[in-house]
Structure 1
Amino acid sequence: MKKILLLFTIVFIFTLSAQAQIDITRPIEQLGFNENTIVTNVQGKKYTYQDWSKLMATGKYKLNPVKHDSDSTAFVLTERDEAAENKEMAKAPKPEETKFFKTGNSFTFFDMKEVNSTLIRSADLKGKIVVLNFWFIACPPCRYEMPELSRVAEAYQNRKDVVFIGISLDKTENIERFLKVSPFKYHIVGDSMSLFAYYGVDQCPASLVIDKDGIIRFNSQGYGEGAVPYWIRKTIDEIK
């Protein structure tokens, strides 16, 4: 039995490692939003990088991927209408749950080190709402949801009882390069192959919301048609 388990672990880690290296030979800076990103309005008119980046900086616009599972994805820039978006998301199906986590189960935390070397102690997470995101650089939908996930994190930045942590397969030096062009407002933990293997995470992106008692209250797998950030906020606000 131990030999079978060891073989499974080796195969699992090899598969994840190979998956994490997809397209990583491209310059990492090109994997984030940059001057080569194709952005249009809903009528199909193309924006220059200077124009769409300035509009995004106002916080009044969002980028919607045309094909969230493709690295050649073009984006449509739309003006935000929070009330309409929330109403639409409330009617939409709940994002697909993962096959490796189950809502209602307890979650085990470990000490983790951020890419800036700050230690996140598992003991310090007790009694807090913890939002987790499993991701890696070469995962298109992981990258495409980051601006909206960051926006959620910023909305709770004054809540000391809510912590956002992004757990990545990638090497710390690669993450640091990537974050310079595509900021992610979570606490970022790199070199996390062992955590992926322990939790059984074999698909990304995956998000969780864990309540103050360490119980999983929400978990999702994939881009979820852009609904994951809405459900994260909804779950946080429902936790007393």
Structure 2
Amino acid sequence: MKTFISFIITFLIFNFSFSQTKFGNPEVDPIQIQKNFSEWSAYQSKKIMLSRDFVALDILSKEISKETFLDQLANGNFIPIRLKSDDSIYYYKLFKIQPKADTSIKATINQIGFDAYKNYKMEGTAFPDFSFKDLNGNVVSNESMKGKIIVIKCWYIHCTPCIREFPQVNRLTEEYKDRKDIVFISLAEDSPEQLKTFLARKPLSYSVIPDMKVYMNESLQLNSFPTHFILNKEGLISKVLPNFESLEVALAKESKL
């Protein structure tokens, strides 16, 4: 009997070790990172990009769909950790949130997971029909943008994270300035007068569409800003992204298709 029990224990240890080494070990201690909200938040913002393509793993290192992974983050009691890897593929694994973890972490992860799940479900769907007039009087519509990759930034004047990334998105437009098949537009909540005054101090290289609060709330159902969309040349949503870092990675990939 003892021999049988020893065999079972050895078998379980071997399989657990294999599941860890097959995909790599966690790049941070999953328990230690949960003890302090600031440390976890810094790790999450720099290392976990839920909008990108990645291999999703459950707590037993079993591959699951990205949809299931995001749903578990939105509704479960899990923290995502990236695994060390020598290849260019990203591996994200779920770990249980510990009872003594900072209580703010679970609530924040659930919200991040909810937003990421909602964004993911929009991918591959048609962007709502639009016909807008920008601050310079130019008409921007689905029809006029056919056959182009469209990058859309949704924002408003008093959104600090939206404004903080202006220098980065401006550099992005400069990087793609020779690509006539890539167009950058932005939807802003504010009035033309407010925007003209603001943009005189804080320039934005995108075409700016004013008075878009109702459209963004009702047609796009946005609840966080900034939000970036990349539309492919067929007018379908390729990616929905929460920040510049995610946008830069996704656009580099889309521009090569």
Q: What TM-score, normalized to structure 1?
A: 0.55
Within 1, Cα distance between the matches of 2:253 and 2:187?
A: 20
CA contact (8 A) 1:148 1:229 kept: no
Q: Which residue of 2 aligns with 1:99?
A: 118
User: What's the secondary structure of 2:222's corresponding residue?
Assistant: coil
Shift in CA distance, 109/155, structure 1 to aligned 2, threshold 3 Å: farther
| Match of residue 157 from structure 2 | 137
- What are the within-5 Å matches in structure 2 for residues 1-240 of structure 1? 97=116, 99=118, 102-196=122-216, 197-221=218-242, 223=243, 227-239=245-257
Q: Which amino acid aligns with 2:230?
A: V
Is the Cα contact below 8 Å between 1:220 and 1:228 reproduced in 2? yes
Alpha-carbon distance in structure 2 between the residues aligned to 1:214 and 1:193 = 22
Once residues 185 and 151 of structure 1 are traced to their aligned partners in structure 2, the CA distance between those partners, rounded to angstroms, is 9
1:126 is paired with a residue whose SS is: coil
Q: Which consecutive unaligned segments of at least 5 residues does structure 1 have?
A: 1-65, 67-89
Q: Check whether the contact 1:206–1:219 (CA below 8 A) recurs between aligned residues.
A: yes
Displacement of 1:98 in angstroms is 6.7
What are the Cα deviations for residues 25-52 of structure 1, in whole angstroms up to 9, with x where unaligned?
Answer: xxxxxxxxxxxxxxxxxxxxxxxxxxxx
CA-based RMSD of the aligned residues comes to: 2.7
Change (3 A) 1:147 1:109: farther
How far 1:121 sits from its partner (Å)?
2.8
Contact 2:150/2:185, CA 8 A, preserved across alignment: yes
Which structure is larger by alpha-carbon Rg, 1 or 2? 2
**Preserved CA contact (<8 Å) 2:228 2:247:** no
Q: Structure 1 residues 232, 152: CA separation in 2 closer, same or farther (over 3 Å shift)?
A: farther
Listed as ranges, the gaps of 5+ residues in structure 2 are 1-41, 43-88, 93-111
Asked if the contact 2:142–2:235 (Cα under 8 Å) also holds between the matched residues in 1, the reply is no
Structure 2 letter corresponding to 1:156: Y
Q: Which has the higher contact order (CA 8 A, sep 6+)?
A: 1
Identity rate, percent: 26
2:252 partner letter: K
Deviation at 1:114, TM superposition (A): 0.4
Q: Which residue of 1 aligns with 2:50?
A: none
